Amino acid sequence: MFGEGIIQGLVETARNFFGSYVDKDRLVTVQYPEERHQLPEATRQFPFLLYDGADPEAGLRCVSCQICEKECPPQCIHIEKSKDKKPDFVGKLQFYPAVFNIDVSTCMSCQICVEVCPFDAIRMDNQFELSTSNRFAGLLYTKPELAKSNEYYRKIHPTEAAECDERRAKEAEEAKAKAAAAAAASAAKAAQAAATSPAGAANGASGNGTASTPVEQPAGKKPVTQ
């Protein structure tokens, strides 16, 4: 009534003013380029492509199925399928992307490409300092820029990556077991065939050759996937 509320308010602001010089906890501002917050695990910026092992070309998980390209709402993904095939982590022969481009100026970070990918090949990155000095260059990410190792994925999204690795290891295990069973079955068949007619044994062995190579592949790859 006599203006005592104004005095109280003035005291409050004065307390904040001096308090901010005394008590550092009051200042919640993070001085960004020098100090940084730990990014939350769920941070997502733009997609990247995952590869296993050391070689981004050979280990790229993408099989060029083009589901992400079709699902992408702003249509920022451009994929060109390869002519030949290369074996994937379970040893199955797959296509690979000859060209994989993402236009980050168009990408809206919706994560739909990640949701639809059946091969765990595309994930969301947490890099946010992506500004360029040129308006037209540097915003189209090509395969070498997009390919990032599984170790990197484990670093930025540990929980998600652990779950993914476990699932893939299981899949590889199953595929190996299946291949082994198939190999055993065909070997038994071959033995049986060899027993009935020795002339057919050579044919049977060469026929098994295609089936047994995939079994070798995951065995070599497995330590990397886990």
Partner 1 sequence: MTLPAPTADQIWVWIKDWLVFHTPAPFQPLASILCIVAAIIVVFASLFALTVLLERKGLGRMQNRYGPNRVGPFGILQPIADAVKSLTKEDIVPRSADHVVHYLAPLVLVAASFLAYAVLPIGRNMTAVNLDAGVLFFFAIGSATELAVFMAGWSSRNKYSLLGAMRAIAQMVSYEIPLILSSIAVVMIAGTLSTSAIVDEQARYTHGIAHWFVFTPWGLAGFILFMIAATAETNRSPFDLPEGESEIIAGYFIEYSGFKFALFFLAEYIEMFAVSGLGITLFLGGWSSPVSFLAWIPSWIWFFGKLLALICCFIWVRGTLPRLRMDQLMNFAWKFMLPMTLFVILSAGVWRFLPATIAGSGALGAVVRWLVCAFIVLLPYVTLARALESGRKIEKREYRFAE
Between CA 198 and CA 6 the distance in angstroms is 107
Q: Which is nearer to partner 1, 27 or 184 (CB)?
A: 27
Alpha-carbon Rg for the chain, nearest whole angstrom, is 28
* Residue among 10, 58, 108, 130 that touches partner 1 (CB under 8 A): 10
Which of 149, 113, 158 lies closest to 224 in space, CA to CA? 149
16 binds partner 1 (CB under 8 A): yes
Contact 59, 51 (CB under 8 A): yes
Q: Which is nearer to partner 1, 18 or 191 (CB)?
A: 18
User: Between residue 31 and residue 50, which ones bind partner 1 under the rule CB under 8 A?
Assistant: 31
133 binds partner 1 (CB under 8 A): no
Between CA 155 and CA 38 the distance in angstroms is 12
Between CA 185 and CA 142 the distance in angstroms is 44
Which of 73, 85, 146 lies closest to 115 in space, CA to CA? 73
Between CA 41 and CA 63 the distance in angstroms is 27
Where does this chain touch partner 1 (CB under 8 A) — which range of 25-33, 47-55, 149-157, 170-178? 25-33
Q: Which is nearer to partner 1, 17 or 136 (CB)?
A: 17
In the complex, least distance from residue 1 CB atom to partner 1, rounded to whole angstroms? 5
In the complex, least distance from residue 122 CB atom to partner 1, rounded to whole angstroms? 38
134 binds partner 1 (CB under 8 A): no
136 binds partner 1 (CB under 8 A): no
Q: Residue 194, Cβ neighbours under 10 Å: how many?
A: 15
29 binds partner 1 (CB under 8 A): yes
Q: Give the 3-state secondary structure of residue 125.
A: coil
Q: Which amino acid is at 82?
A: S
Q: Which is nearer to partner 1, 9 or 158 (CB)?
A: 9
Between CA 5 and CA 11 the distance in angstroms is 10
Where does this chain touch partner 1 (CB under 8 A) — which range of 21-29, 48-56, 99-107, 173-181? 21-29
28 binds partner 1 (CB under 8 A): yes
Q: Give the 3-state secondary structure of residue 226.
A: coil
Q: Which is nearer to partner 1, 13 or 131 (CB)?
A: 13
In the complex, least distance from residue 18 CB atom to partner 1, rounded to whole angstroms? 8
Q: Which residues bind partner 1 (CB under 8 A)?
A: 1-3, 6, 9-10, 12-14, 16-17, 19-21, 26-29, 31
